[in-house]
C-alpha cells in the first residue's frame, strides 16, 4: 500500500470534506513523480543476487555446465560420422580389391592353363598377366616408348590420347617396365576412383545409395577393363574428381582434373555439362574471382581437347593426325552411324559378337540412366552419361560401347537406386563376379 493510499485510509471517516480537499494536491504530486517513475521503469533491472532466490540466477550455472556436455555430444556425433565413413571406405575398397584379385587370378589362370588350347598366341602366352596388357595396351606402350607416328592408310597411334603414355613413361624412368607401369597406374587409379566416386555420390544421393553405387562399379561385368592398360580407370577417377571438386567449390583444381580426364579420353569433354550446372547453382554466391575460376572449370575440357591437335602439329607436323588416325581405325562419325551400327549387328550376328555385346550394354546403360533420372538426378548429369553412350555408335559400330559406357557415372547411380531392393542387390552381387571373370576369359577370343 502506497503512502498516498495510507494517508487516505488513515483519515477518520467523518472528515471526508478535508480528504476531498487534499485529493488535488495528491494528484499533483503523483503527476510530478511520473517522469521519475518512467525513467526508473525504463532502466535495466538489476538481477537479484543468487541469495535472494532469483530463478534466472539459479538456472545460469546449470546452463554453463551444459555447454561442455553439448560440445562433447557434438564431438561424439562427428566421431561417429567419421567411423561410419571409414567403414564405407573399407567396404568399397574390399569389393574393389576383391574384384581386382579375381581379374588378375583369372588372367593368370587362362594363360597358365592355355585353355582353350591353341587360342593364345605367342605374345599372350609369354607372361601371366599378358591378357591385361593386350589390345590397346600395346599401342599405349608404343607411344610411351617412341612417341606419336602417323602412317596414313594404316592404323596409327595418334588415335590414343597422351596422358596415360606420359604416366607410363614417367614410371618407366623409375625402373618399372612399361607393362607393369600400366598395370600399376590403372589399378591404383581405379581403387582411388572408387572412393572419389563414393564421395561424389554423397553430394547427390543418400549415403547408402552412394556406397552401393561405388560397390557396383567394382563389380561391373565389363570392369575388367579398369585393370588393363587402358585409359578408362584413369579417366573414371579424373572425371569423378573433377565433378567432386566443382561441387565443393574448388574450381581451379576441378579445371585441372577435367583437363586431365579429357587428355586421357576425349569423352571427358562431356563433363562440362554437370560442372556447368554446379557452377550455375553456385553463381549467385560467388565473388568475381571465384566466378572466373568456375568459368575456367567449365571450359577446361574443351580447351584440353583443342590443345591435343595443336600438340600433334608441334610433335609430328600434322594438326589433323588425330582425325586421320580415327578414320584409319574405322571410326569415322556419320549422321547415319546408328543405322549402320544396327544393320551391322543384324547382318553379322555370328561373326561380330563384340558388337552384339556392346549393343546389349548400350541398352543397359540407357536404362540405368533413365532410372537415375526418375530418382531425381539432375538432367545435366543424365545428359553427360547419355552422350558417353550414344555418341560412339555414330561411328557405325557398337563394338566399343560396353567399354566407353564405363565412364557414364550416373548409370551406376541408377543401378544403386534399383539395388534398394534386396533381391536386386543380392542378384547383382552374386551374378557380377562370374560375369567379370568370364569377361577376362573372353579376351583370348577377341584379341587380334
Q: What is the DSSP letter of 406?
A: G
Burial 154-189, CB ≥16 within 10 A → b, else e = eebbbbbbbbbbebbbebbeeebebbbbbbebbbeb
Burial 387-407, CB ≥16 within 10 A → b, else e = bbbbbbbbbbbbbbbbbbbbb
Distance CA 199, CA 407 (A): 16
| Cβ pair 297, 255 in contact under 8 A | yes
- Domain spans in the chain, listed from the N-terminal domain onward: 94-319+335-446
**Residue 408 pLDDT:** 97
User: In 3D, which of 397, 323, 386, 309 has the Cα closest to residue 353?
Assistant: 397
| Cβ pair 121, 446 in contact under 8 A | no
Q: How far is CA 335 from the centre of its chain?
A: 32
User: In 3D, which of 212, 270, 266, 221 has the Cα closest to residue 243?
Assistant: 270
Query: What backbone phi and psi angles, to 5 degrees, belong to 398?
Result: -95, 5
Sign of the dihedral defined by the CA atoms of residues 333, 299, 275, 219, in that order: positive
Per-residue pLDDT of the chain (448 residues), as tens digits, is 444 444 444 444 444 444 444 444 554 555 555 555 555 544 444 444 444 445 444 444 554 546 777 777 777 777 778 899 999 999 999 999 999 999 999 999 988 876 655 556 656 656 778 889 988 999 999 999 999 999 988 989 999 999 999 999 999 999 999 999 999 999 999 999 999 999 999 999 999 999 999 999 999 999 999 999 999 999 999 999 999 999 999 999 999 999 999 999 999 999 999 999 999 999 999 999 999 999 999 999 999 999 999 999 999 999 999 999 998 888 878 888 898 888 888 776 555 678 888 999 999 999 999 999 999 999 999 999 999 999 999 988 888 899 999 999 999 999 999 999 999 999 999 999 999 999 999 888 765 4
Q: Half-sphere exposure (CA, 13 Å, Cβ side) for 193? A: 28
| Cβ pair 367, 405 in contact under 8 A | no
**Residue 183 pLDDT:** 97
Amino acid at each position: 500500500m502506497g503512502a498516498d493510499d495510507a494517508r487516505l485510509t488513515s483519515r477518520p471517516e467523518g472528515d471526508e470534506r478535508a480528504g476531498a480537499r487534499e485529493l488535488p494536491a495528491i494528484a499533483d504530486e503523483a503527476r510530478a513523480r511520473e517522469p521519475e517513475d518512467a525513467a526508473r521503469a525504463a532502466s535495466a533491472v538489476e538481477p537479484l543476487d543468487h541469495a535472494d532466490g532469483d530463478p534466472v540466477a539459479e538456472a545460469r550455472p546449470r546452463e554453463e555446465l551444459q555447454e561442455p556436455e553439448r560440445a562433447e555430444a557434438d564431438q561424439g556425433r562427428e566421431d561417429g560420422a567419421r567411423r561410419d565413413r571409414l567403414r564405407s571406405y573399407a567396404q568399397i575398397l574390399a569389393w574393389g580389391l576383391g574384384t581386382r584379385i579375381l581379374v588378375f587370378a583369372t588372367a593368370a589362370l587362362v594363360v597358365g592353363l592355355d585353355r582353350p588350347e591353341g587360342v593364345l598366341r605367342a605374345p599372350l602366352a609369354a607372361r601371366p598377366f599378358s591378357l591385361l596388357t593386350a589390345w590397346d595396351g600395346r599401342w599405349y606402350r608404343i607411344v610411351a616408348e617412341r612417341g606419336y607416328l602417323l602412317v596414313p592408310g594404316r592404323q596409327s597411334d595418334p588415335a590414343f590420347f597422351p596422358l596415360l603414355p606420359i604416366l607410363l613413361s614417367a614410371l618407366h624412368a623409375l625402373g618399372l617396365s612399361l607393362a607393369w607401369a600400366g598395370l600399376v597406374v590403372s589399378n591404383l587409379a581405379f581403387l582411388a576412383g572408387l572412393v572419389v566416386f563414393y564421395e561424389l555420390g554423397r553430394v547427390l544421393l543418400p549415403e547408402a545409395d552412394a556406397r552401393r553405387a561405388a560397390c557396383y562399379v567394382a563389380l561391373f561385368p565389363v570392369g575388367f577393363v579398369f585393370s588393363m592398360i587402358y585409359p578408362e580407370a584413369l579417366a573414371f577417377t579424373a572425371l569423378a574428381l573433377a565433378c567432386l571438386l566443382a561441387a565443393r567449390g574448388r574450381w581451379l583444381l576441378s579445371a585441372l582434373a577435367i583437363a586431365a580426364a579429357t587428355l586421357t579420353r576425349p569423352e571427358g569433354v562431356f563433363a562440362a555439362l554437370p560442372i556447368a550446372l554446379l557452377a550455375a547453382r553456385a553463381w549467385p554466391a560467388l565473388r568475381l574471382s571465384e566466378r572466373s575460376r568456375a568459368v575456367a572449370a567449365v571450359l577446361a575440357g574443351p580447351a584440353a581437347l583443342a590443345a591435343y591437335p595443336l600438340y600433334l602439329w608441334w610433335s609430328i607436323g600434322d594438326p589433323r593426325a588425330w582425325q586421320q588416325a580415327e578414320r584409319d581405325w574405322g571410326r569415322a562419325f556419320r549422321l547415319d552411324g546408328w543405322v549402320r551400327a544396327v544393320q551391322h549387328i543384324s547382318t553379322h550376328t555370328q561373326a561380330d559378337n563384340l558388337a552384339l555385346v556392346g549393343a546389349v550394354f548400350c541398352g543397359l546403360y540407357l536404362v540405368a540412366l533413365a532410372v537415375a533420372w526418375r530418382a531425381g538426378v539432375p538432367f545435366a548429369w543424365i545428359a553427360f552419361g547419355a552422350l558417353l553412350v550414344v555418341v560412339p555408335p555414330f561411328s557405325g559400330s557398337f563394338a566399343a560401347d560396353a567399354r566407353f559406357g564405363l565412364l557414364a557415372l550416373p548409370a551406376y547411380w541408377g543401378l544403386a537406386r534399383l539395388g534398394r531392393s534386396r533381391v536386386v542387390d543380392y542378384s547383382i552381387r552374386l551374378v557380377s563376379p562370374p560375369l567379370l571373370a568370364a569377361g577376362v576369359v573372353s579376351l583370348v577370343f577377341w584379341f587380334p
